[in-house]
Amino acid sequence: MQDLLGQDEVEWVALVGPDALPIDFTPKSKVVEAAVSMWFGLDSLLEDVPVRMLLRTSEALMLAHRVDENRLLLIQSGVGANVGALRSVLENAAGRIVDLA
């Protein structure tokens, strides 16, 4: 997860489990726990389980990439971040996590 955190403008990274709780996240912050809860609320509104999702506000970006049926990677970055690059590193990281299982 440190390689994701090292990307331009990435503020935090979380690996989220099936119970909508972070398995691990860095840096440690209550904001991450709140964001994970909000993200699962959005995820539950959809009819299908998306492989990836993007949420953009005027102040931040949040991107998620599903690792498998039970886990996802979630990051928050500044609005100036390169979305394509972030999606690519998220996909690569998710693949590495699957390979570890």
Six-digit token pair at 24?
């691990």
Structure pTM? 0.85
Residue ranges covered by each domain of the chain: 2-100
**3-state SS, residue 71:** coil
CATH of domain 2-100: 3.30.450.30
Average pLDDT for consecutive 10-residue bins of the chain (101 residues)?
Answer: 89 89 84 82 73 91 91 94 95 86 56
- Predicted local confidence at residue 101, as pLDDT: 56
| Residue 93, both tokens | 């990281």
Q: Are 16 and 71 in contact (CB under 8 A)?
A: yes
- DSSP 8-class letter at 1: -
Please, which residues have CB within 8 angstroms of residue 39's CB and are 6 or more apart in sequence? 16, 53, 55, 62, 64, 74
